[in-house]
Amino acid sequence: MLLRTAPFRNVDAFDQFFGSPVRGGATAALDAYRDGDTFFVEIDLPGVDPATIDATVDRNVLTVRAERTRTEREGVRRVITERPTGTVTRRLVLGDSLDTERLEASYDAGVLTLSIPVTERAKPRRIEIGTAQRELATAR
């Protein structure tokens, strides 16, 4: 039997149904795509101090946490407060075809970009096809 597996599985839907770790209604939107032999995950984290971003991989589960805070100043009375604050968490289950040992991360303009190479064993490879005539010629 042949199985086709996706490189990512989003586990946040489960969290959102059973009680998300996200406070303030904030979710971090993401895009995931493949370019050549590397998968990329781009997670929107606007207004987040890069020092608060924590990305870990444990048993193929990628967890990204970040803290978004609001600066409070004495004497300032807020009229509208819509921008969420608190901890934002995103989790993805990574497929076995991804090399988590070589995962790299960068943060620029409010977007966390993770690059995850495809493992060597998961890359397409050319298979040489033998024939009976070729085997006879090499045996002589």
| Single-letter residue type at 33 | Y
The domain tally of the chain equals: 1
pLDDT of residue 18: 36
Does residue 2 belong to any structural domain of this protein? no
Q: What is the dihedral of CA 48, 54, 57, 62, to 10 degrees?
A: -20
Is 1 inside any structural domain? no
Q: Would you say residue 61 lies in a domain?
A: yes
| Residue ranges making up the domain that contains 119 | 8-139
Burial class (CB in 10 A: 0-12, 13-18, 19+), 57: middle
Best CA proximity match to 50, nearest among 106, 116, 131, 103: 106
Please report, for the domain that includes residue 91, its CATH number. 2.60.40.790
Task: Kindly state the DSSP code that residue 122 receives in the 8-state scheme.
Answer: G
**Tokens read off for 137:** 């010629």
Question: What is the per-residue pLDDT across 45-91, written as a single tens digit (0 to 9) for each?
Answer: 998 999 999 999 998 899 999 998 888 889 999 899 888 888 988 98
Residue 47, in any domain of the structure? yes
DSSP assignment letter at 7:
S
Q: Considering the domain boundaries, does residue 18 fall inside one? A: yes
pTM: 0.70
